[in-house]
Amino acid sequence: MSKTTITFAVILASVLASVRARSQYCDFPPDALMHGPRREYRGPYSNGAYLYSVVIPDHLVGYDGTNPFYQHGFGIILGEKPYSYVMVDGSPNSLEFPTAADAAKTSLEFLSHKAKIISFQVKPMSIDTLPGVFLVANYTCQNSPAKFVVGSVFAISPNKTYVYQLSLYATGDQFGKDRAVLDQILKSWRYMPR
């Protein structure tokens, strides 16, 4: 496989991940995880390809699609309708974000194309040993009276090769309660350099 073909494949995977993330803002959890064939994860989860590990809380299940070539992380479906959704992801940093703040800014731009942002806040934080940021955005979607919140933590690997994202998508009423799950997962997240 040529270097050009590999580069194109990495860029395509990144674009597809971005499209998937955009669709999650107003329509979560993803239908494929709710109804399609899927893998299930419980307890400790380790992703050797993207150099991170995390512990899924005892009472929850992480789901991922069945494509063996796309194993970036998993999603957790919380509660009953309207569901909240936690996404844990590691991906190539194909957009070459120099910092976690740049990844958060791009995520906010994607959100503004899909929804009306009411307010947002970005704060620095650490995720294990990596510097990161925590973005919280309140927004509304077309054709829905509901108010939504996304809370996303972003970090970049030390060599700038990978971007990490842990996000909670919820209605405004559910976000405060379900944030405890995101916080629990964040505390267990570890960077695993080779």
Structural domain spans, the chain: 3-191
Determine the pLDDT at residue 17: 46
Give the type of residue at 173.
D
Determine the pLDDT at residue 143: 81
Give me the DSSP letters along 110-159.
HHHHHSEEEEEEEEEEEETTEEEEEEEEEEE-TT---EEEEEEEEEE-TT
* Distance between first and last Cα of the chain: 25
What average pLDDT does range 96-104 have in this prediction? Answer: 97
Q: CB under 8 Å to 108, separation ≥6 — which residues?
A: 117, 120, 135, 137
Alpha-carbon separation of residue 85 from 26, 46, 60, 139, 169 (angstroms): 11, 20, 12, 16, 5
Q: Residue 6 — pLDDT band, cuts 50, 70, 90? A: very low
What average pLDDT does range 6-10 have in this prediction? Answer: 42
* Three-state SS sequence of 30-77: CHHHHHCCCEEECCEEEECCCCEEEECCCCCCEEECCCCCCCCEEEEE
Listed residue (117, 60, 128) closest to 90, CA to CA:
128
Q: Which two tokens stand for residue 126?
A: 């650490």
Average pLDDT, the chain: 87
Could you give the percent of the chain with pLDDT greater than 90? 70
- Residue 165 pLDDT > 70: yes
Q: In what order do the strands lie in the sheet with 73-78?
A: 39-41, 62-64, 73-78, 84-92, 162-171, 147-156, 130-140, 116-127
Determine the pLDDT at residue 82: 87
Q: Residue 58 — pLDDT band, cuts 50, 70, 90? A: very high
Q: Which two tokens stand for residue 49?
A: 């390809």
- Residue 9 pLDDT > 70: no
Could you give the percent of the chain with pLDDT greater than 70? 88
Determine the pLDDT at residue 33: 76
- Residue 121 pLDDT > 60: yes
What average pLDDT does range 9-21 have in this prediction? Answer: 42
Cis peptide before 29 (omega within 30 of 0): yes
**Fold entry, domain 3-191:** Protein Transport Mog1p; Chain A (3.40.1000)
> In this predicted model, which residue has the larger pLDDT, 32 or 37?
37
